[in-house]
Every structure is written in structure tokens, then in C-alpha cells.
Amino acid sequence: MREPLRITILRHAVLLAFVAISIYPVLNVVSISLRPGDRLRSTDLAIIPADWTLASYAALFTEQPFLRWLGNSLAVSAAVTVTGVALASTAGYAFSRFRFIGRRATMLAILTTQMFPATMLLLPLYVLIARLGLVDTWLGLMIFYTATALPFCVWQMKGFYDTIPASLEEAARIDGCTRGQAFWYVVLPLATPGLVITALFSFMTAWSEYIVAAQVMQREEMFTLPLGIKGFQASLSSQWGLYAAASILVSLPVVAVFLSLSRFLVNGLTVGSVKE
Amino acid sequence: MATVSIRGLHKRYPGGFHAVRGISLDIADGEFLVLVGPSGCGKSTSLRMVAGLEEVSEGEIRIGDRLVNDIAPGDRDIAMVFQNYALYPHLSVRDNMAFGLRMRNTPRAEIERRVSAAAAALSIESLLARRPRELSGGQRQRVALGRAIVREPAVFLFDEPLSNLDAKLRVQMRAELALLHRRLGTTVIYVTHDQVEAMTLGDRIVLMNHGVIQQIDAPLAIYRRPANRFVAAFIGSPTMNFFHGTIRDGGFVAAGGAARVPLDGVAATVPSGDAVLGIRPEDFVVGGGDEDAAAFATAEVTVAEQMGHETLAHVSIGGATSIVRVPGNRGVAPGDRLPLGVRAGAMHLFAADDEGRRLA
């Protein structure tokens, strides 16, 4: 059935309005990053100003320790991602497949940690990390992030494994696999979309986090990108050009990661394996 | 190839459910053994214990002369075909079939040879490059069979392999399975809830109920001499008719006297008292008694199902409903009154208690 023209127009108008709302701030930041000096406000409506310059971008690399912060952020985020995927994929499997004493209680306990806002956990976790002597280290921040990202990831992976029929593993075991090999050769490849979501979530948790990093990291050379960028925003004179340029650069890796992984986020990978 | 020997096998689940209650049986080398019974009777659990997918609570399983209770499924030299096929969705048909051989480090050329041979035998050569999701149900079932065949195992285990196929395909695959077994000669344990599959495929049938073996015998032997009322009701379609009544004066009387039949030659071995008489639908003779059949009762037809080659007449005998198979397309209509006889030697007498043991 064809829908009436005015409905089509209305639908697209609503969609376009929301696209504009979400894309305007991004374009605005792009625009600011290309302006010379620290011109935050401008009457010019052009996205690329007439007198555009890449000076702010250049300054990030020449005058500011941007690369150092980028390295810190990449190191911490990569470590959180790898740890998160490794732990969540195995823990989720255990919760999905095995029946053991305390299974329900442990799963509920994991869920409960998600009920507290991260800021509430800030103090106890900080004390923990301070006692361990991990303040101002990559490891300290990594533990913090992994601890906050892991509960969601474990549940996510458990839910994913639940959709993979147990008979596939049984077939693999009869085909000569150990439990571990069945997990590695059969279950894990089928759980790829779940692993991708877990990886993205872990990465994002670490990459864009500010409050925790502000507590754990204290020396400027240990700053992650969000911390470093915040430094451009001083109380008297903010370096808006640098701020905007850095913001754009920070979001590029995330966009790249999303685009490269999006093809794995196809569901229904198990279609055709079994007939229920 | 190998024999399979099961001794005093039990399965108790942590929740307390006692799924299999001490079954023992010996399966000969090359035999096609069918485990059949209603759902929850323990047949699949028993098969899964042989496969090593369920732990044995008590008892012994031997494949060949080897006790396999604590041997991993992959080391038992068995192959299994699952009800839902359980094909690896991320692998092509070829890789699905080769997977088990690769896990055993079989040389590449040998894998290639076996996969090609099995694919040819099952007519799935053209599908080798496809993924399972691109196959129809029947094709998936063939691939699942192929994956089992290439392993050249000592024992094939089938867990209701045909129950997800439509009726027509099921009949076709049933015949192919029988052919396959004749050609390979491998020992087979086959689980099904379908008595037709059991009757047509099995060298012997093991009929289970509530985790206990009810009877083990060749299909026709079970059909002709069911060991108890449960077996009698399970095997045969339409199901056997039962009449609750009394044995007295050398005859059987049921339905308040509306049905009575002499028990020539049987009465001597069976004590008088309450009993259940079983008669298969095809063992009724319309027209009453003659030299081959004993007169039984006059029945009123309530429903007549015309099948073409025969008519299934649902009849009322003293208020109880029975089914009578009338051969040919002889006109039988609701309201007709049929004089019924029972073919000589076709009466099954069972005890009237819950167990319903065969009396004669």
C-alpha cells in the first residue's frame, strides 16, 4: 500500500529536523576548529569560514602534548578493550552454559553494581587504587574502567551465548573437540557480534571518560585525551580553537572503530544451523 | 564397527528427576536398534549417555570391549545426527563435513577423499560450497548425515533425525536411511517417538516408558505379541482397541454383556477374573463368526473414515468406542449396525491392573 504524499513529507520533515539537531553541534565544532584565533562566536554561518586555517590542529601537535595524551588514551582504552573482551567472553559463557552453586547470586550481584552511578563508586574505588599504589598509572585507570564496563559486558555476552544452541557444541564435542576447543572453534565465531558490541562498549567506556581520569591521573604527562582537552578551557581565557580541533581528532578513532566493526554487528548469524 | 553393551544404566538429575531407571541391553555389531517411546520416556537421555553428552549416574556402557563411561564424546568413536541438525553455521558444507576429521588431524588428501565420497553418496556435491542457512531442511539433514558418515565411526547415533522434516520428505529419508545402513553395515542406535519409523527401520525395537524398558524384540514380534498394554497401545496405528471385562466360563465378557467371545485354548492358562482384551482394528471381521473368526459383538458405526483402500469405522460397542478397519471401499455409513467377529489367534489378553502385563 502506498502511503499518502503528505504523510511522506511529514515523516521526512520530522527526520530531517532531528538529523539537523544532532548534526548542528558537530558542524559548529568543525567550524570553530577551522577559525583563526579563539573566535568562539561568529556571525558567519559558513561551516568552513572564508579565512579557514589548520593552525589549531598544527598547534595541538607542535605546542601541546597532544600525542602523549593520545598515546595514554590509546594504551588505556586498548588494554580495557582486550581485558573486557577476554573476561566477558569467558565469564558470560560460564554463566550461560554451566549450572553451579551461587550462579544466580553472582549474576544478581553483577547486575546490582550497575545500579550505582559511577560517581558514587568513585571514592571507594579511588581509595582502593590509592592503597594499591596505582594512582597516576595506566594500570590504575585500566582497573577502574574494566571494573565499571565489565558487568554490562558479562550480561551482554551471556545473553548472546544463550541464543547459540547447545547442540552445536555437542556436535563439536562428538567431532572430537574438548570443551575449550568447542568454545574456540564453534561458539566464539558465532558470538562475533556480541564480542564486537562488548569491545565497542569497553573501548568507549575508557576513551571518553573524564571524571574518573581526573581523580586517578594527576601529572599532565599521564593525562588521557578528555583530561588534556579540558585543560584548554581555563577560567579566564579558553583556547576554543585548540579545544574544538582536539575534540574533532578525539572522535575520529571512535568513528573509525565503529565503521570498521559495523559489518560484524549483523545479527542472525546462526540462522540455518539448527531447526527448532 | 562394534557392539554396544549397556548394563544397569541410570540417570538421575540434580533436581531429583530419575530419567532412566536401570536399563540393560546388548546391541549386536551392525544392528539397527531403535529406541522408541513417548516424550520423557528416557530414550534420548539414554542415547546421550552413550554419546557421552550426559554423565552416567550408575551403570556401565561399553562400545566394543571398551568401558566408555569416563571417555570424552570425541574419543568414543561414535558419530551423532541431531534432531535440529546442529550444523556449524559459520562453516561451508564442505568444512562442516571435514570438521571432525580436521580435529583428528586426518591427512588433507584423506579428508578430501572421504568428503567427496560421502557427498556423492548423498547427492550433495553441488552444495559443498554453501553455508547451512542457504539449504533447505532436507538438504541440511543430508549434510548432517554426511558429517556423520565421513567420520567412519564404530556406531551411529541418531536423535530423532527425521522429526523436523515434512511428511513426504520423511518417508523418502526413511528409505534412504535404511539403504545407507544396508550399505555401510555400521551399528546404529536410533531414537524416535514415531512408531512407524521404529517398525520400518529397526532390526530390533526397544520400547521405553518412564525410564524403563517395556519390551525388546523384532518389530513384527512386538506387533504380534506386545508384552503389556502400554506396548500394545503404542505400536500400531490406529491403536489397538481395549475392552475391560471379565473372564468366566471359558470366555471373555465385556461392555455389560454386549460383547462376548469364547477363549478357546487360552482359558486353561488364564485364571478367571477381571482382564483387558486387546484387538487390533484389522483383526475384526465384519459379518460375525465363521470358521476363521469367533463372533464378538454387534457394533453401531458412529463415524466412517474413507481412506480409499480401506475404511476406518469408529464403532460403539455397549457405549465404548472402538476402531474397525474394513478393507476395500465397501460402503460403511454412520448408523450401520455391523456384526463383528475376531480373527482366530488375534486376541491379546492383559491383566486389568495398571501394569497391564500380557496374560495370553
Query: Does the pLDDT at position A270 exceed 60?
Result: no
Whether B160 and B11 share a structural domain:
yes
Query: Does the pLDDT at position B338 exceed 60?
Result: yes
The chain-wide mean pLDDT, for chain B, equals 91
Q: Which of B176, B200, B233 is the last residue before a domain boundary? A: B233
Question: Cell for A276?
Answer: 527448532
Q: Give the residue numbers in B contacting A (CB under 8 Å), as ranges.
A: 14, 51-53, 72-75, 78-80, 82, 84-90, 99-100, 103-104, 131-135, 137, 140, 147, 151, 164
pTM for this one? 0.83
Q: Are strands B310-317 and B348-351 parallel, antiparallel or unpaired?
A: unpaired
CA of residue A28 relative to chain centroid, distance = 23
Confidence at residue B132, expressed as pLDDT on a 0 to 100 scale? 93
CATH code at position B296: 2.40.50.140
Whether B215 and B155 share a structural domain:
yes
Closest B-chain CA to A276: B84
Phi, psi dihedrals of residue A102, rounded to the nearest 5°: 90, 5
Which residue did the predictor score with more confidence, B61 or A208? B61
Q: How confident is the model at residue A208 (pLDDT cuts 50, 70, 90)?
A: confident
Tell whether the torsion through CA atoms of A65, A67, A68 and A73 is positive or negative: positive
Q: How far is B79 from chain A (nearest CA, A)?
A: 6
Do the domain assignments include residue B357? no
Whether B84 and B178 share a structural domain:
yes
Confidence at residue B182, expressed as pLDDT on a 0 to 100 scale? 92
Q: Are the beta carbons of A173 and B85 separated by less than 8 Å? A: no
Query: Does the pLDDT at position A268 exceed 50?
Result: no
Whether the Cβ atoms of residue B148 and residue B97 lie closer than 8 Å to each other = no
* Domain residue limits at B173: 4-233
Query: Does the pLDDT at position A271 exceed 50?
Result: no
Indicate the residue of A175, A272, A273 with minimum beta-carbon distance to B74. A175
Do the domain assignments include residue B25? yes
Whether B150 and B287 share a structural domain:
no
* A&B contacts, CB < 8 Å: 89
Give the relative orientation of helices A138-162 and A118-131 as an angle to the nearest 10 degrees: 130
Chain A residues close to B75, C-beta within 8 Å: 176
Query: Does the pLDDT at position B81 exceed 90?
Result: yes
Average pLDDT (B267-272) is 74
Whether the Cβ atoms of residue A238 and residue A232 lie closer than 8 Å to each other = yes
CATH code at position B219: 3.40.50.300
Q: Angle at the Cα of A192 (from A190 to A194), degrees rounded to 5?
A: 105
Q: How far is B184 from chain A (nearest CA, A)?
A: 19
Q: Are the beta carbons of B86 and A271 separated by less than 8 Å? A: no
Grid cell 488364564 in the structure block, residue: B270
Do the domain assignments include residue B253? yes
A272 touches chain B (CB under 8 A): yes
CATH no. for A65-264: 1.10.3720.10
A189 touches chain B (CB under 8 A): yes
A170 touches chain B (CB under 8 A): yes
Chain B residues close to A271, C-beta within 8 Å: 89, 133
Note the ipTM here: 0.86
Closest to A89 (Cα-Cα) out of A201, A203, A200, A194: A194
Question: Cell for A253?
Answer: 578513532
Per-residue pLDDT tens digits for A74-92: 999 999 999 999 999 999 9
Q: Are the beta carbons of A274 and B151 separated by less than 8 Å? A: no
Confidence at residue A1, expressed as pLDDT on a 0 to 100 scale? 66
The number of distinct structural domains making up chain B is 2
Whether B21 and B40 share a structural domain:
yes
